[in-house]
Copies of this chain bind each other. A is one copy, B any other.
Amino acid sequence: MLAGSCYALRPISFRKFHSQAFHAQGLHNCGRGRFSLHYQLPGSRVVPWSLKPWVERERERERERLPTDRGSLNNLTASAYYDKNDRDPAIELEGFPSELPSLSAAQLVCIPHSTMALPLEGRAESGEVEAWLWGQIQAEARRDAESEPALASYLYSTILSHSSLERSLSFHLGNKLCSSTLLSTLLYDLFLNAFSSDASLRAAVVADLRAARVRDPACVSFSHCLLNYKGFLACQAHRVAHKLWNQQRRPLALALHSRISDVFSVDIHPAARIGKGILFDHATGVVIGETAVIGNNCSILHHVTLGGTGKVGGDRHPKVGDGVLIGAGATILGNVKIGDGAKIGAGSVVLIDVPPRTTAVGNPARLVGGKEKPAKNEDVPGESMDHTSFISEWSDYII
């Protein structure tokens, strides 16, 4: 699998209304937390289809004991690329088959977000995953090029003219990171060679694309992330720099590091080790030091520092576990451990270990619930992206 294990998928029933709008049933059986619906015609590819905004609105109503409005799903048709009030995150219906043969012959599958994978378990050989994702990206680019002629040339050169995801990404990174003395052709070859020869790099690309798509409500398509997310691009370029570093090609790794910091304002030392399924959201100002380690499925906001203390050479930067969420502007200094599933509030200054599944907030940071019996996070913060639910527990935080 791409990232973590995948739950057994539970088919749910649905009921067609008119046209391509329909009403899904069985959502109550999906368990706690956020999830996505996937649409699958028998024998065909699985198409991700986010019902998140609708479902969350419904659950909010349930909590407040208001009448729920499952019929509102009728409003979500294949043509509703963005929702009607023009403010909510996009409802992605791309790839929805236009000649919907018989909805009762199709299957809607519900996948909790914390374990969602693209595509589904059982068919996840990495080559197939990449091919599926690349097909999606090309379809998105074709759609955008058709609807926006001003972008057609741009989309052709960055996506549509390429035969694979790694070629597209290498071309795009080469163009972004080149300078008058560090040519784009050199960088293109460098990236392509790294991605082509290393399946784990490609798997990380896929996992990171998925992380942005699933966790960031503002991420409207995979191609949006591929082309526009500086955090995603900086992270992939870093992965290549890290590979060069480990191959003892350090001057080249450092030159790449410098370009990434100049172009994206994301400063990750090439020796830093970063897991898969990482979302660097917004990403401007992120600084990650030489001996830092980041686990899998973490979400790290902009202006976050994983810094050294400067006192001692050697191993001197934070070690961040799996599923950690680090809020905007948090500063974590020294060789400290941030446990699996921990959450660091925005603007916090952390200088000491944070136990697994706890939340640290403030300057200096303290554990929500106190150090004796800290509150334990129920979900995976790096995936749920819940930045503020600790407010009610944060001492006397009321203004």
Interface residues of A (CB under 8 A from B): 52-53, 56-57, 60, 82, 86-89, 144, 147-148, 150-151, 153-154, 157-158, 175-176, 178-184, 186, 190, 215, 217-218, 220, 224, 227-230, 246, 248-252, 254-255, 257-258, 261-265, 267, 269, 271, 282, 284-285, 287, 289-291, 299, 301-303, 305, 307-316, 325, 327-329, 331, 333-334, 345-354, 360-367, 371, 384-389, 391, 394, 397-399
Contacts and interface: CB of A to CB of B under 8 A. Distances in A.
B282 A267 contact: yes
Contacts of A301: 307
Contact of A290 (B151, B218, B371): B218
B352 A349 contact: no
Contacts of A82: 248, 250
Nearest to A50: B313
A230 B258 contact: yes
A312 B58 CA distance: 11
Contact of A305 (B52, B257, B311, B329): B329
A392 to B, nearest CB: 10
6 contacts: A87-B291, A217-B316, A220-B250, A228-B254, A329-B347, A334-B387
| Copies of chain A in the complex | 3
Contacts of A224: 251, 254
A257 B282 contact: no
Nearest to A374: B399
Contacts of A249: 147-148, 150
A363 B350 CA distance: 13
A366 B399 contact: yes
Contact of A346 (B150, B261, B264, B305): B305
A171 B267 CA distance: 24
A215 B252 CA distance: 22
B267 A302 contact: yes
A311 B388 contact: yes
Contacts of A220: 250, 254
Q: Which of A153, A254, A309, A310 has the most CB of B within 10 A?
A: A310
Contact of A56 (B53, B229, B313): B313
Contacts of A229: 258
B313 A89 contact: yes
A352 B391 contact: yes
A398 B352 contact: yes
Nearest to A287: B282
**4 cross-chain pairs, A with B, having the tightest CB-CB distances, nearest first:** A310-B385, A228-B258, A144-B251, A53-B313
A54 B150 CA distance: 51
Given A60-B312, A224-B254, A305-B329, A371 B399 contact: yes
B399 A367 contact: yes
B349 A345 contact: yes
B217 A313 contact: yes
Contact of A347 (B89, B271, B363): B363
A60 to B, nearest CB: 7
Nearest to A83: B314
Nearest to A398: B371
